[in-house]
Amino acid sequence: MSFVEYSEIIQEGDVVIIFLGHESMMPIKVQSGAQTQTRYGVIRHSSDLIGQRFGSKVTCSKGGWVYVLHPTPELWTVNLPHRTQILYTTDIANITLMLELKPGSVVCESGTGSGSLSHSILRTIAPTGHLHTVEFHAQRAEKAMQEFKEHKVSHLVTVRNQDVCKDGFGITAIADAVFLDIPSPWEAITHAKSAMKRKGGRLCSFSPCIEQVQRTCEALLDHGFEEICTLEVLLRVHDVRTVSLPLPDFGPEEGSADSSQMASDVGQEEVPNTGNTSVICRTATPPREMAGHTGYLTFATKPRD
Amino acid sequence: MAECVNDSDAEGRISYGDHVVLKRGDVFKSVQVENKKKVIFEKQWFFLDNAVGQLYGTRFEIEAGGSLKLKITILFSPVTDSKEAGQDNRHIVDDGRSQKLSRDDIETLKEQGLKGQEIVQQLIDNSTTFKDKTEFAQEKYIKKKKKKYESDITILKPSTRLLAMMYHDREPGKICHLRYDTLAQILTLGNIHAGSKIIVFETCAGLVLGSVMERMGGYGSVIQMYPGGGPTRAGMESFGFPSHFHETLHEFPLCKVNALLAGTLDLSEKDETSGVSEEKNSEPQSMEVSVDPQEEMRRAERERLREQRAQEKKVKMEEKRKKLASAAALLEGRNADGLVIASRFHPCPVLMGLLKFVAPSRPFVVYCQYREPLIECYTKLREQGGAISLRLTDSWLRHYQVLPNRTHPVLLMSGGGGYLLSGTTVAADAAKARNQHKSEEPVAKRLKLEKISSSCDSSA
């Protein structure tokens, strides 16, 4: 198992995602002899996990069952321990496409935060790219590094514990793309520009507030960035359900030919339309509440020097 | 200028045969650079020959006769020196006479070969109302005129971003109205990355295929399932991938999926059409009785050509057979790492058929322009099992204009970018077939049921 390579069989030391049903999951680290408690009973790693195929069903002690899944950045995003507010898959997907990330890309990111986006970037740029991520919070930087090791992607990433607004990314002229998720991105634009390749590259800044976007766009313009574009993407999840819509009763149709025919067919004059008082249909409904705003995504191109 | 460039720019230069993306303003066009080929873009025509040898990302001007000239980037010079501007528009009357230059005058200026910026300046100088407009209105006026008269072309390297935006703007019908943010979701939800084995079924001109290949970077394999006579790849070709990417691309006809699943796929299968044509050719020949030596020679020549053609055909067929065999071998393992479907066909049978080739614990993503067919897929998958975390989604995309004191969402937004059904495969359950409905129930419920039945057993 690795976050950048699929494998078939669960091994000691792997991170697996336990699927408990209905959007309920938990990540666990597989260790022989270890046990994990779930609401369906205990999972014994040695017998239930090690040597099993990813995607198989595991029966727990109380007779309930769970699925064990291969980790992916998307599963990790919904299961990771939060140290900060994180980016979710919808935004991540757009960031990845609009930054033109692919195998071999060299990317700068700040802050590392909980590493939600980092894992996704690493998946995309492997096996030949590199991520330079900067986190000014020492403990978070340390924790991120540890996670990258556990997830077998540490060879693709350098974590630097410094202030990106003051000290930059620690590299010059080698990045294809820069991503900023910090409170004052406009203060990091100079550093972003100097981190990027001479032939140019792409930049993205994520900000929840429009005032931040405003200042960032001004800074980008001042530094000669082009194709500046701000957008917002929201995900709508549709709940697939069967609904039944009752039919209204208008009473018997007076003097109409088919009403009399129906009455004679059914042979019940008091209750016409029996058994046909509602229509059942499959539909998809929006959830009662949804995330209405995560942040504005501002993209720009650094032109060739 | 060339000397000062030292970062790996050898590949950064435009050469003949390259697939490139032309950009003017927000408009893109994908073309292949060819010798003396006339290109028409945004009502202008030109030749790309002068761009050969230049760096990607370079800006060009179009000169008379359609040749491209490097744009000398002078720092933005303000078009208006006087900062004279009005407060509001209470005195601005639309009498249609504010512009003193006539259409003919403008045409003459153009014919004189005046630069775009100079024409814009002329228009401003001859506008009687310009000085009365507010500062913002002046800026807007200049921007509008610039867009019309200044026509710089930038030549860019193709990417998923550029091509997806281009297709969505220019030919949405060809890509089933798949919007770029939806394509972004497909690639991410599908966990597309280097080293995987991905099955793709698309009728989006090859755009989805190309974007998957870009994310795989030439590592792993892509099996394109295709309907009809052959795969569509124009969109993929526009990416201009290096040749080793193509070695990772395989193809398999959808019409042979059933045979493959049943294990009855005959790989030694002869192409019937070629056999027929050979017969047809040989018949009239035997009828000929001419003894004219010239005729004889011509006939010999014809025969030689025919044989050559037959030989070529044989080689091609052999190649085709080999390709089919290699794709079949990849599929037969039934251990693909992902499945992407984006087509104009009903997604339900496609999904049910192709999901059988995917390993457990792997993501799949189905795109459809409409929601209802995906509801059907969802229901069917729930019945059949073998997939979890099913989600039916669509995304909503809004662009913003960000300018000092003029920030707001842009007026027009896309109404819809299609729908996605995504999920994860799991090992097929042996008990499932026997007990389909029971296991569909939530786990907690089933536990309770089991408890009840066991307590009943013990009491009995």
pLDDT tens, position by position, B104-114: 888 887 777 77
Q: Given an 8 Å threshold on Cβ–Cβ distance, is B427 in contact with A236?
A: no
What pLDDT, on a 0 to 100 scale, did the predictor assign at position B4?
A: 42
Coil, helix or strand for B79? coil
pLDDT band at A1 (very low <50, low <70, confident <90, very high): confident
Q: Which residues have CB under 8 Å from B335's CB, separation 6+?
A: A8, B197, B358, B359
Are the beta carbons of B181 and A93 separated by less than 8 Å?
yes
Fold (topology level) of B10-74: Vcp-like ATPase; Chain A, domain 2 (3.10.330)
In this complex, how many residue pairs, one in chain A and one in chain B, have their CB atoms less than 8 Å apart? 194
Residue A142 is which amino acid?
E
Instruction: Check if A293 contacts B (Cβ < 8 Å).
Output: no
Report residue A289's pLDDT band, with 50, 70 and 90 as the boundaries: confident
Residues of A in contact with B444 (CB under 8 A): 39, 64
> What separation in angstroms does the CA of A22 have from each of A43, A270, A288, B57, B429?
19, 46, 17, 48, 18
B237 has pLDDT over 50: yes
Query: What is the least distance, in Å, from the CA of A30 to any CA of chain B?
Result: 17
Kindly determine whether residue B189 and residue A124, on different chains, have CB atoms separated by under 8 Å.
no
| Inter-chain residue contact A298 with B402, CB threshold 8 Å | yes
Select the residue of B189, B361, B442 nearest A74 (Cβ to Cβ): B189
pTM: 0.86
Number of other CB atoms surrounding residue A131 within 10 Å? 27
What pLDDT is attached to residue B435?
A: 46
One fold for both A15-71 and A75-234+293-302?
no
pLDDT > 70: what percent of chain B? 83
Q: Do A97 and B164 touch (CB under 8 A)?
A: yes
CA-wise closest residue to B193 among A177, A17, A105: A105
Please check whether residue A126 touches B, CB under 8 A: yes
Nearest-angstrom CA–CA distance, A255 and A261: 11
CB contact under 8 A, A90 and B219: no
**Which of A17-26, A87-96, B76-85, B412-421 is the least confident region?**
B76-85
Q: Which of A172, A125, A108, A300 is nearest to B7 (CA)?
A: A172
According to CATH, where is 3.40.50.150 located in chain B? 160-264+307-425
Q: What is the phi/psi pair of residue A53, to 5°?
A: -85, 140
Alpha-carbon distances of B354 from A173, B31, B217, B321, rounded to whole Å: 45, 34, 24, 21
What is the widest separation between alpha-carbon atoms in chain A? 89
Which residues from A are below 8 Å from B187, CB to CB? Answer: 93, 96-97
Q: Give kind and range of the element (H or E) at residue B273.
A: helix B272-287
A115 annotated binding-site participant: yes
Helices (H), chain A: 73-77, 89-98, 116-125, 138-150, 164-167, 189-195, 210-222, 257-266
Whether A23 has a binding-site annotation, put simply, is: no
Is A305 touching B (CB cutoff 8 A)?
no
Domain A15-71 has CATH 3.10.330.20: yes
Comparison of pLDDT for B230 and B84, the residue scoring more = B230
A128 contacts on B by Cβ (under 8 Å): 217
Virtual CA dihedral for B301, B307, B310, B315, nearest 10 degrees?
Answer: -120
Question: Helix, strand, or coil here: B75?
Answer: coil
What is the four-CA torsion angle of B432, B434, B437, B442, rounded to 10 degrees? -40
Which tokens belong to A104? Answer: 């071999």
Exposure letters B384-406 (e unless 16+ CB within 10 A, then b):
ebbbbbbbbbbbbbeebebeeee
Q: How confident is residue B444, by pLDDT bands cut at 50, 70 and 90? A: low
Give A-chain residues touching B4 at CB under 8 angstroms: none
Number of helices and strands in chain B (H, E): 16, 15
Rg of the Cα atoms in chain B: 31
Please tell me which residue, B288 or A287, carries the higher pLDDT value: A287
Which residues 6+ apart lie within 8 Å of B401 measured at CB? B407, B408, B409, B410
CATH superfamily of B160-264+307-425: Vaccinia Virus protein VP39 (3.40.50.150)
pLDDT digits (tens, 9 = 90+) for B69-125: 887 765 545 445 556 788 888 878 888 888 888 888 888 877 777 777 777 787 788
Closest Cα partner for B247 from B267, B211, B219? B219
Kindly report, as residue ranges, where domains of CATH 3.10.330 are found in chain B: 10-74
Does the CB of A6 have a partner CB in chain B at under 8 Å?
yes
- Environment class of A71 (CB within 10 Å of its CB; exposed 0-12, middle 13-18, buried 19+): buried
Nearest-CB residue to B188 (from A53, A92, A234):
A92
Q: How far apart are CA B303 and CA B310, in angstroms?
A: 10
**Opening angle at CA B427, ends B424 and B430, nearest 5:** 140
* CA angle at B273 for the pair B270 and B275, rounded to the nearest 5°: 65
ipTM higher than threshold 0.85 = yes
Q: What topology does CATH give the domain A75-234+293-302?
A: Rossmann fold (3.40.50)
How many Å lie between the alpha carbon of A134 and the closest alpha carbon of chain B? 24
- B189 close contact with A: CB closer than 8 A: yes
The verdict on A124 touching B (C-beta cutoff 8 Å) is yes
Question: Per-domain residue ranges for chain A?
Answer: 15-71, 75-234+293-302
Q: Which of the pair, A22 or B275, is modelled with greater confidence?
A: A22
